[in-house]
Amino acid sequence: MALKGLHPFISFGLAILVWEAAIRCLAIPAYKFPGPLAVAEAMKELALSGRLLASVVASLFRVTWGFYLAACAAIPLGLVLGIYGSARAFLNPIVQFLRPISPLAWIPVALMWLGIGDRSAIFLIFLSSFFPLLVFTMSAVLGIKVTYIRVGLNFGVTGLKRYTKILLPAIMPDIITGLRITLGTAWLVIVAAEMIAVKSGLGYLIIDGRNSMRMDYVVAAMIVIGIIGLVLDWTVSRLEMLPSVRWIHKRR
């Protein structure tokens, strides 16, 4: 179908039309909720002043660091917990206990220890990504088909090769899915973290817009957050198309 690639554009176009129509029909004043044109104007203003780019860069910087540190810590630890039953018996209860505590609950602790600034925001992103990634990695290891392990043993795949040839490739699809979901969560949390812990970034742009009664800034920032979220997700989803990873989708 020629329409195939156009579907998202049609739905977004319709959504904007409905939005504009609702603002006009219900006579909603701009200070309560701005229409699409006002938001486009605000976005242009923010872009031209350089504030939009600065906010995006600040937010991405924190998410990248927090997410990266979480991946570096959670994936190796998840491997250990997945491989060694005794480590799992000791640490898994703690992990499962800490996991449901929202990273937002840590905000006061983060501010007390790390102060207002990047370090607090990065710490909160780290927390939001660390536990899910840890659990994803651990259950990926536990979910490896026993056949693969036996084939490895049978053909004498030993030592480091057991990990590089079997364990890591076997869990790679799950890890990539985990990264994809976790990155989404991290991007959710950054806004909340920036509302409280720092004075820059897209989250701060929203809270600052609210304080100065600029709802058009608030909605503009929301739209940018949505777009970046899409781009981040799409980027990680590309990894799922790697030939050595795609098998998992064929199997299911």
Partner 1 sequence: MKKIEVKGLSKSYNERRKKRRSPGDCRYGHGCLVLKDLDFQIEEGSFTCFIGPSGCGKSTLFRIMAGFETPTTGEVLIDGIPVLGPSTRHIFVFQEDGLFPWLTAMENVAIGAKHISDPLEREGEIRDFLDMVGLKGFEDHYPHELSGGMRRRAEVARALIANPEILLMDEPFGALDFITRLQMREEMVNVHQMFDSTILFITHDIDEALQLGDRIIMLSGRPSSIKADISLPFPHPRDLTVGEIASLRKEIYFHIGIHAAL
Question: What type of residue sits at position 71?
Answer: A
Binding mask 103-142 toward partner 1 (x if CB under 8 A, else -) reads ----------------------------------------
Q: Which of 157, 181, 188, 222 binds partner 1 (CB under 8 A)?
A: 157
Identify the residue among 151, 213, 227, 230 touching partner 1 (CB under 8 A): 151
**Per-residue CA distances from 114 to 56, 119, 188 (Å):** 23, 6, 21
Nearest 5°: the CA angle 199, 130, 109 is 50
Residue 160 Cβ vs partner 1, minimum distance, rounded to whole Å: 14
Question: How many amino acids of this chain bind partner 1 (CB under 8 A)?
Answer: 22
CA distances from 95 to 62, 155, 162 (A): 24, 36, 27
Is 166 a binding residue for partner 1 by CB under 8 A? The answer is yes
- Among residues 29, 50, 100, 156, which is the contact residue for partner 1, using CB under 8 A? 156
Residue (24 or 246) nearer to partner 1, CB: 246
Q: Which CB sits closer to partner 1, 8 or 156?
A: 156
> Is residue 241 near partner 1 by the rule CB under 8 A?
no
Smallest separation, CB 158 to partner 1 (Å)? 10
Q: Nearest-CA neighbor of 142 among 81, 203, 208? A: 81
Q: Which residues, 6+ apart, have CB-to-CB distance to 213 below 8 Å?
A: 31
Work out which of 30, 38, 236, 245 binds partner 1, going by CB under 8 A: 245
Per-residue tokens: 51: 């504030």
Chain length of the chain: 252
Cβ contact 227:186 at 8 Å: no
Query: Of 41 and 240, which CB lies nearer to partner 1 in the complex structure?
Result: 240
Distance CA 174, CA 179 (A): 9
Task: State the Cα angle at 122 between 121 and 128, rounded to 5°.
Answer: 90
246 lies in the binding site for partner 1 (CB under 8 A) = yes
Give the C-alpha separation, 97 to 48, whole Å.
47
Tell me: does residue 164 bind partner 1 (CB under 8 A): no
Q: Mask: binding to partner 1, 167-186, rule CB under 8 A, as x and -?
A: --xx-x--------------
Q: Which two tokens stand for residue 5?
A: 């690639």
Q: Give the footprint of partner 1 on this chain (CB under 8 A).
A: 147-148, 150-151, 153-157, 165-166, 169-170, 172, 243-248, 250-251
